[in-house]
Structure 1
Amino acid sequence: MPASALLRDTFTPASIFRLALGWGSFLALVLLRPLLAAPLATPVLWLVLAAIVVVITVSAFGVVTEAEHLARRLGDPYGTLVLTLSIVLIEVILISAVLLGPGEHPTIARDSVMAVSMIILNLVIGVALIVGGLRHGALRANRTGVFTYLALLVVLLATAFAFPALIGVDGEYTPGQAIPIAILTLLLYAFFLIRQMGAQREDFQEVSPVAGGAAAARVDIRLVLVEHRGELIARTTLLVATVTPIVLLSHDMAALLDDALDRAGAPVALSGILIAMIVFLPETITTIRAAYTGELQRVSNLCHGALVSTVGLTIPAVLVIGMLTGQPIVLGESAAALTLLAVTLLLTFATFAGRRVSALHGAAHLMLFAIYGIVVFA
């Protein structure tokens, strides 16, 4: 493809609008920062916060759009991994921005990752299974790949939420514990990526042709990198340029969100839930679209893979930030939350252990998400 045509195809009016919106909003906040530093009237505070959330959400859709283009070009599991890491990067950035911002937020990482776990494992999976099950009757996943994700999630989620409460101090890992935990978590996640992209890549591909389509062709990733180098560089550049305003805006959003929820008397965990919902909205839509077309393994790659990446990257990041800044990082969860998480993992095993997955499984997951809401607001 000629360079001019490639640039027109990559830098579309929509992508340029998202870039202008993100960077323009950041510049506007820089100019208005002296005014925002003073206490704002509550209606104005919520208005500014809502505007920032809208910009971050629109920019996040742009990130997902470019990641999806890369995903289609690279094929699975590489493509889905690009999309997942793009979303998880935003999540880690937002949590880090809160920790590095004004005030202390000792439970923001715990609340955010717990919210992500419940949203992905119950809400998104539940809706996706209902949509896919009602349209196709029953769906089939690659059980080897799904159970690989779940094996990692059992270890990672226990490391994130259960062990700090059992061996830590007041729900925190001690410095002597935090260092090896961060290193071990990163090593496990890195080993997972190596296996997923290498010897075990077929475990994360569809087990049968998608309804109405043909089986996916096997992609030679080295050939793709050579033949489509220009497109890959252009779209990666656009992805980075689109995600950067999210990074810059997240600091202001964190401070305003903390003030707004404090005034509203909302539960502390609601901040983490809102961050998770903002970040994973675009990927949720992508997941439901995959379920609608009958790609259940892509649903698993997007959801379970995203959660593995979230825990595998967020926990080491916040532990390092805590050690460098001296901030307390409380990860230990309550008995109710740990019970809910354990039941969710058991339900996930039960859902994907059978030969077929149906809409009824999705309804069970949605009920657990509703119970999570009761636990948060109780």
Structure 2
Amino acid sequence: MTTRTGIRSLWSRWTVVVPLLALVALVLSWGRDLPGYAVGLVALLLAGAVLAAVHHAEVVAHRVGEPFGSLVLAVAVTVIEVALIVTLMVDGGAKSSTLARDTVFAAVMITCNGIIGISLIVGALRSRVTVFNAEGSGGALATVATLATLSLVFPTFTTSKPGAQFSTDQLTFAAIASLGLYGLFVAMQTVRHRDYFLPLTQEGEIKEIDEHAPLPTRRATTLSAVMLVVALVAVVGDAKAVSPTIESGVESAGMPHAVVGVIIALLVLAPETLAAVRAARRERVQTSLNLALGSAMASIGLTIPAIALATIWLSGPLVLGLSATHMVLLALTVVVGALTVVPGRATLLQGGVHLAIFAAFVFLAVSP
């Protein structure tokens, strides 16, 4: 009886009910033109699903420990993000030729500047100086920089095809290289150098699991894992449902179509943003960096191979090369990120610098 009561209490929580309602809203709204009140309701359920996804990700992360917990959320979000990009490209026609580039680059800017910046500020407000592992974070940043250059910078300079596009052979190479680098990093993060990605104390020692937070049961962890997938599917699907409204609003405001990719990336990465901030509040900035850099890496390392495969049935062009302005922002992000992670310690200043770069990215997206 006690077990059944416990299960009922789990299923009665809002973190279970809201994602299910969001999933129902996704089914009912898929492929339909929604009136204003319906868009508002879907957006409200989307926000609730984001909060629920963070909760379930934290339950799973607490059970499996770091760095596996951060990897769970990063990979789950990115896999569904890839599905969203491919779906929008299939439905979007010629105007979606730059959608993959815009969304992936937006994800890199959001994670490497927005999430890192706000996490460092939150962590510094709690402990004045945040502490993290320079070896792990530095390796992750180097991988992100390499993946971004191979996939988003080189197409601007190659000459096999006109415009900022890869030839088929070049796209295949970029896809294989992306998968290989991402797989190598995951092996290092979870097996060979796992200690490089564990949270540290102010004295630089590995921080153990919180003594006051008992591990969730296997039943609760399994439920949270299932509901995490449900919540993420609902987040991405509902984001697609409201995307026509977003697109029409962007066009009505006279803003570039690239802003749509930025808004969708912000919606999709909201669970990771909230999870990173909550980790920083508990003085686990290393977990925040794992989420941010791991998500940036997965956004490129999984998206580019998936898009390369999708080009088999996608008829339109695939523009991956960044503009000059975006390449400058990427270079600035890499340089500032390196100066942030190399010391293994950061203050409010470093967080403010990253947020300034993120603000510049958003402003230039709206007003290029």
TM-score calculated relative to the size of structure 2: 0.88
Residue type at the aligned position of 1:94: L
Relative to 1, partners in 2 of residues 1:251 and 1:138: Cα closer, same or farther, differing over 3 Å? closer
Q: Aligned runs of 1:93-172 on 2, under 5 Å?
A: 93-104=83-94, 105-167=96-158, 169=161, 170-172=163-165
Equivalent of 2:169 in 176, 183, 195: 176
Aligned to 1:62: 52
Contact kept? 2:74, 2:291, Cα under 8 Å? yes
Aligned to 1:319: 308
| Residue 94 (structure 1) shift | 2.3
Contact kept? 1:145, 1:204, Cα under 8 Å? yes
Equivalent of 1:198 in 169, 191, 199: 191
CA distance in 2, matches of 1:130, 1:26: 35
Contact kept? 2:104, 2:299, Cα under 8 Å? yes
Task: Spell out, residue by residue over 1:125-152, the C-alpha distance to the aligned partner (whole angstroms, 9 max, x if none).
Answer: 2222222213211111101100110110
Relative to 1, partners in 2 of residues 1:2 and 1:172: Cα closer, same or farther, differing over 3 Å? farther
CA distance in 2, matches of 1:122, 1:146: 14
CA distance in 2, matches of 1:99, 1:363: 35
Residue type at the aligned position of 2:350: H
Aligned to 1:344: 333
Q: List alignment gaps of at least 5 residues for structure 2.
A: none
Aligned to 1:76: 66
Aligned to 1:367: 356
Contact kept? 1:165, 1:333, Cα under 8 Å? yes
Aligned to 2:230: 241
Relative to 1, partners in 2 of residues 1:131 and 1:240: Cα closer, same or farther, differing over 3 Å? closer
Q: Tell me, what secondary structure is at the counterpart of 2:283?
A: coil
What's the % identity of the aligned pairs? 28
Aligned to 2:81: 91
CA distance in 2, matches of 1:143, 1:59: 33
Aligned to 1:207: 200
Residue type at the aligned position of 2:208: A
Q: Tell me, what secondary structure is at the counterpart of 1:90?
A: helix
Aligned to 1:221: none
Deviation larger for 54-63 or 359-368: 54-63
Residue type at the aligned position of 1:284: T
Task: Spell out, residue by residue over 1:219-278, the C-alpha distance to the aligned partner (whole angstroms, 9 max, x if none).
Answer: xxxxx9xx9544433322222333333454454334443344334322111101101111
Q: Tell me, what secondary structure is at the counterpart of 1:188?
A: helix
TM-score calculated relative to the size of structure 1: 0.86
| Residue 281 (structure 1) shift | 2.0
Residue type at the aligned position of 2:52: G
Contact kept? 1:121, 1:348, Cα under 8 Å? yes
Contact kept? 1:64, 1:86, Cα under 8 Å? no
Contact kept? 1:182, 1:319, Cα under 8 Å? yes
CA distance in 1, matches of 2:98, 2:13: 40
Q: Aligned runs of 1:212-223 on 2, under 5 Å?
A: 215-216=207-208
Residue type at the aligned position of 2:316: Q
Contact kept? 2:198, 2:207, Cα under 8 Å? no
CA distance in 2, matches of 1:144, 1:9: 43
CA RMSD, 1 decimal: 2.8
| Residue 311 (structure 1) shift | 1.2
Q: Aligned runs of 1:259-270 on 2, under 5 Å?
A: 259-270=248-259
CA distance in 1, matches of 2:48, 2:209: 33
Residue type at the aligned position of 1:161: L
| Residue 371 (structure 1) shift | 2.0
Residue type at the aligned position of 2:7: L
Relative to 1, partners in 2 of residues 1:90 and 1:49: Cα closer, same or farther, differing over 3 Å? farther
Relative to 1, partners in 2 of residues 1:135 and 1:207: Cα closer, same or farther, differing over 3 Å? closer
Relative to 1, partners in 2 of residues 1:230 and 1:51: Cα closer, same or farther, differing over 3 Å? closer
Aligned to 1:18: 18
Contact kept? 1:49, 1:257, Cα under 8 Å? no
Aligned to 1:285: 274
Q: List alignment gaps of at least 5 residues for structure 1.
A: 219-223
Relative to 1, partners in 2 of residues 1:50 and 1:109: Cα closer, same or farther, differing over 3 Å? farther
CA distance in 1, matches of 2:236, 2:334: 32
Relative to 1, partners in 2 of residues 1:132 and 1:115: Cα closer, same or farther, differing over 3 Å? same
Residue type at the aligned position of 1:118: M
Q: How many residues align?
A: 360
CA distance in 2, matches of 1:121, 1:373: 14
